[in-house]
Amino acid sequence: MDSDIDMEYIELASQGISTENVSRCELLGKLMEDRLYAHQALQDSTIVVKDSEINNMMEERIAYMLSQIGSMEKMLKFYNKKSEEDFRSFFFDVLKQNKLSTEMRNKVVEEVEITPEEVRTFFKKIPKEDLPTFGAEMEVSQIVFEPKISQEEKQKVIDKLNEIRNDVLNNGASFKTKAVIFTQDRASASTGGFYKMNRKTQFVKEFKEVAFSLNEGEISKPFETEFGYHIILVEKIRGQEVDLRHILLTPKVSDEALKEAKEKAQLVRQRIMDGELSFADALPGVCLMKKKPELMGEFC
């Protein structure tokens, strides 16, 4: 179906694969081939694809698509589905079929051995005008100076989250509406901060620990992850699966902190250019402590 090809375009894009030069005809051929592999995989008792694995994959893909399309309503309209449940059921089948196809394809080719001579023979048969062009490659190293976020900025975010939490708990405000307005998690903003997750879902450890420590209807206090500060509302617990909403706020980096980080980077660069330090010596932390302890105060 046309919708299958549309879905394949989005699936490729979600994996970072360019679809600029991929025609619908080529994707149709790929889909037909995938159907054959998936059908054969179902006949092969050695190939097992767990539903939990597909569910984790589905949550990641839906989060990506929501960030691209904008809202669940637009996505349902795009795929001509009546409800989110219908869409998830349809998408689950698509992903499972893709996974079965991949596993079957891998099994077919896993014992195939190709010699260097076969590669050379194949290469020489390709017309020169069809040969791919490879750009120059290089290896780089970098030194990163991250601007420090002040405790004052962090406290502003914590205070704001506490204000939102108190408004929901004490004044009956809608957590969903608050999430739409305030959350800085673009993937879930349009759905009011909604996520469905289990213990295997790929969320950061701190987030999962808080989510699974709450009871239904409970709202967490602000807590920190690598993305910023969150509060979580648990809406429903189904065994090992949790329906939740969250609000993410990220402290801002001050202009002063940005200026300080830039000045440190410029200072390090100048000392490397002057031959005072090698690039490796200038790395903040362990290397600098071992080789240039007298400069620790300037870079760390």
Kindly give the confidence (pLDDT) of every residue in the chain, 300 residues in length, as a single tens digit, with 9 standing for 90 and above.
887 788 777 767 766 677 777 888 888 888 888 888 888 888 777 787 888 888 888 888 888 777 777 788 888 887 778 888 888 888 888 888 888 888 888 888 777 888 899 999 999 999 988 887 777 888 888 888 888 888 999 999 999 999 999 999 999 999 999 999 999 998 888 889 999 888 878 788 899 999 999 999 999 999 999 899 999 999 999 888 899 999 999 999 888 889 988 998 898 899 889 988 888 877 754 344 344 444 444 444
DSSP 8-state class, residue 193: S
Cβ atoms of 171 and 177 closer than 8 Å = no
Cβ atoms of 215 and 233 closer than 8 Å = no
**pTM as predicted:** 0.49
Provide the residue type at 280 as one letter.
Answer: A
Helices of type H across the chain: 2-14, 24-43, 51-69, 72-78, 84-109, 116-124, 151-171, 175-182, 186-189, 205-211, 255-273, 286-291, 296-299
Q: Which helix (H) or strand (E) holds 238?
A: strand 228-238
Tell me how crowded residue 161 is: count the other CB atoms within 10 A of its CB: 24
Using the CB atoms, write b or e for 100-130: b if 16+ within 10 Å.
bbebbbeeeeeeeeeeeeeeeeeeeeeeeee
Same domain, 262 and 234: no
- List the domain range (segments joined by +) for residue 214: 151-249
Same domain, 16 and 114: yes
177 within some domain: yes
269 within some domain: yes
Integer Cα distance of 36 and 33 in angstroms: 5
Who contacts 134 (Cβ-Cβ below 8 Å, separation ≥6)?
none
DSSP 8-state class, residue 30: H
Same domain, 190 and 82: no
Same domain, 65 and 181: no
Integer Cα distance of 243 and 254 in angstroms: 35
Cβ atoms of 219 and 169 closer than 8 Å = yes
213 within some domain: yes
Same domain, 194 and 261: no
Residue showing tokens 């004490």 = 170
Same domain, 245 and 260: no
Identify the pLDDT of residue 177: 94
Look at strands 241-249 and 228-238 and give their pairing: antiparallel
**Token reading at 212:** 């699974």
Cβ atoms of 59 and 197 closer than 8 Å = yes
Same domain, 280 and 236: no
Closest-CA residue to 230 (of 94, 214, 198)? 214
Number of domains in the chain: 3
Q: What is the CATH number of the domain that holds 202?
A: 3.10.50.40
